[in-house]
Structure 1
């Protein structure tokens, strides 16, 4: 099978923190495989690594919250991407509140939405969660501050292998 790295290395998309809650547990992780996938009806897909604790929590959840990170949110990216919920309660280190379906909403992030999980898509070492918007917090700043991009995370050691 041909390597895709020459193509994907050219990409520099925004990064997100995705949070979930179910069965009295909550978790969140840094995600880069995230995209709008339908205009009508509006749908979004978040791909979570099957090795990730957030994935295990999300499998039983009804909603996920997708937080769009700005350039100044590097500390959140380090926490949610560099630590694993298997060892650390990430939410003990940040302001958050319970949102739709119990999904955690991070207090420091100004642009986010919570989506109802409508389906799951197997994709190898990641599973896609198809989301229908339930609650949307639109940008309040105009223009939107610069987004935190994948390339800016150079040197971030993931909390676990993908």
Structure 2
């Protein structure tokens, strides 16, 4: 397949498999007004001299101002700042009205409560297809020590939340379950009564255990996504950790992929699975996912929005 025949959406989805942090890039426009946008295409470049880069789409509303500004800042968002990411990713007129910030030594807006920030002088501008690469020389920085907000496959993830979930379920036997999705369908096992794929944790890394099990079960390539549900069955004392996962192409050796709108909840073998599938179908429609903590009958959903990070 030549590069001219690539499906842009498929290519974007493939790029999205790479987990990144989330930043808000800020500067001042020609009349001194603050501007900013969400970006996950950011990386360090050099320690000596201290250089970093961000990528900016040529179609961005900030393109002219950003490519002519002499200074800019990169704010690495912390894992509590999903709302900030969404604000700066949307066409909001006054994005800075809802966030706390201050001007840096070179005038760039620096956001409060971020993981780290870097104030830079424009070092070089490199043309790169439908984007430009903005290379900055770091003039000042600060590192708060907060965990960063993660982003992959179109959704946010928070390292602290994942760690708490696994720690909370670490005592006793743990069943690892998954909502294995592909193109709006999920994999279900069984004939009359349907069930989500699952296996028992065997020690070590739970995502590696689950990935190995799913690939052996289906014969398909599988990518494990993020936590989706953590609950205890009060009757049995069994701990359950459920992940979202993504299947590659092919016919599964076991089970069948069923479109979410065609799944009959009453055919699922237990109430917890019914609740998981119902919630997943509803959240897929809204594009706004969460992580459930609790028991099989009562708990709380921590919302993790799907919007936001853009190049």
* TM-score, length-scaled by structure 1: 0.82
1:126-137 map, 5 Å: 126-137=131-142
Structure 2 residue matching 1:102: 3-state secondary structure: coil
Q: Distance in 1 between matches of 2:51 and 2:26?
A: 17
1:20-59 map, 5 Å: 20-23=27-30, 24-59=32-67
Aligned residues: 154
1:145 corresponds, among 133, 144, 147, to 147
Matching residue of 1:156 = 307
Listed one character per residue, the Cα deviations across residues 55-92 of structure 1 (whole Å, up to 9, x for unaligned) are 222122111110111221101011011x22xx511011
Runs (5+) with no aligned partner, structure 2 = 157-286, 288-305
Larger radius of gyration: 2
* TM-score, length-scaled by structure 2: 0.45
Matching residue of 1:19 = 26
- Cα deviation for residue 6 of structure 1 reads 6.6
Matching residue of 1:80 = 88
Q: Segments of 4+ in structure 1 off by > 3 A?
A: 3-7
Runs (5+) with no aligned partner, structure 1 = none
Q: Distance in 2 between matches of 1:9 and 1:22?
A: 30
8 Å contact kept, 1:20–1:54: no
Give the number of the structure with larger relative contact order, counting CA–CA contacts within 8 Å between residues 6 or more apart.
1
8 Å contact kept, 2:115–2:147: no
Q: Distance in 1 between matches of 2:49 and 2:64?
A: 27
Q: Distance in 2 between matches of 1:128 and 1:99?
A: 23
Structure 1 residue matching 2:81: 3-state secondary structure: helix
Structure 1 residue matching 2:67: 3-state secondary structure: helix
Over aligned residues, Cα RMSD in angstroms?
2.3
